[in-house]
Amino acid sequence: MIIIKLKTIIKCFFVFILVSFPIVYHTKGSFIGNYSQNSQILDESSIFYIMAPENNSIIYEMPILSYYLNNISAQLEFYLNGSFISNTLNNTDLILSVRGYYNLTGIAQSNNDTVVESVFFSYFPVISIDFSYDTIYHNDFFHFPDYSSPIPCYTYDETVLLQASFNEKNNSLNLLIHYQVSSNLYELDSSNFTWTNDTCLNLIIEPLNFNVTTHKLVFDVTSSLPNGTNSIKFYFFRAVVPPLVEPDAYENFVNTIHSGTVQGHFQVFRGISDLTNISVFLDNQLIQYYYNKNGIEDFSGILTITINTTQYEDGEHELRIIVTDFFNLTTDNNYLLTFDNFMTPTNEPPTMPLYLRIILISLSVIVAVSVILQMLDKRYRFIDKLRRK
């Protein structure tokens, strides 16, 4: 019984030691270079070791470089997978661009003594792609529900040159690229893209004979490393639809005879790009003009046209509206207006003859008096009825 109790006490003692003083594993000496390792600078009061990252699987955030240097004045150098990194500040991010396994080695030099400390960790965020392209125009007013970045825009016959940078080396990647135009789906192969290095590829998309604005690329990526599956979308537009101009449906501006100073409103719907030019002509004479090569600012989509008909002869006149967008897509609209300067001005109420005004006023007075007399008659009858009771 005494022996059993003694064994139990010894076990409890070791459990207490493990809980109170957890073991931290550090790998030393696994660095290629010329140095003399002298552990004498590491005594009870003088210590250098890397605290983090250590055996961590980091998914969403950058790993933190954290080390402990106590009571010694030492020059520090750090190497990531054998490559020197300049960041020697404590508790700062290690900037990593590629998913994978890492060996972080620190060297502390004090006088003629050098101590090496290495730790190992893994970095596996979600697979991602950074896109770069050569287009000069982006559509930033229309987004898809699953895509929030500005969308690059190209002309109908322009070749799309796209560079895709992955956060993982291609030796552990399996990649499928699909190109979707309307209901047509194509799978791209090595004739469409080439790897320029182990993380970047160039993609070339020639114009297709489709009058479609929206184009989509889907990168289905799988990896042999952990957390290695993702489907990444990339959208681009082709400028194929010109702006649209429509008269205000409630005004009937183009189907009315006008007189005096009149206003008409037209709705202007742009395609995928801003409008750069709006020109309004009346009988081939320019009467309104807006232009900005980078896009007409503060345009609400409503074009207001003001015309003084007294400056023109009576009869039919041609109104022409030309609208052009950034990609030089143009819409040209013609409307027929009729002017009659002898009629009451369009925007003024008609003048009523004096005798009609007198008749209307007299009728109004008669009706008002009749209503009052009826109300008084009803009241007197009610009072008389109460008295008889």
Domains of the chain: 24-123 (2.60.40.10), 129-239 (2.60.40.10), 244-339 (2.60.40.10)
- The pLDDT of residue 86 is 78
pTM across the whole model:
0.68
Please tell me the predicted confidence (pLDDT) of residue 10: 40
φ/ψ region of 182 (left if φ > 0, alpha if ψ in -120 to 50, else beta) reads left
Q: What is the mean pLDDT of residues 312-318?
A: 94
Percent of the residues in the chain that have a pLDDT greater than 90, as a whole number? 43
Which of these, 232, 215, 214, lies nearest to 223 by C-alpha position?
232
> In terms of residues, how long is the chain?
389
167 or 354, greater pLDDT: 167
Assess whether pLDDT exceeds 70 at residue 240.
yes
SS3 356: helix
Q: What pLDDT is attached to residue 32?
A: 30
Expressed in angstroms, the distance from the first to the final Cα of the chain is: 120
> Looking at per-residue confidence, does 322 or 96 come out higher?
322
Instruction: Please state, in angstroms and rounded to a whole number, the distance separating the CA atoms of residues 128 and 168.
Output: 8
pLDDT score of 344: 66
| Rounded mean pLDDT, 308-331 | 95
- Give the strands of the sheet with 92-93, arranged side by side: 47-52, 64-70, 92-93
Segment among 31-35, 146-150, 246-250, 358-362 with least mean pLDDT: 31-35
What pLDDT digit, counting tens, does each position of 49-106 carry?
A: 677 675 454 555 678 888 877 766 778 889 999 899 876 778 888 888 899 988 888 8
CA-closest candidate to residue 119, choices 155, 188, 169, 67: 67
Tens digits of per-residue pLDDT, 132-179? 998 989 988 877 887 888 899 999 899 999 999 999 999 999 999 999
* Cis omega (within 30 of 0) for bond into 349: no
Task: Write out the H or E segment, with its range, that includes residue 194.
Answer: strand 193-195
Q: What is the mean pLDDT of residues 265-279?
A: 94
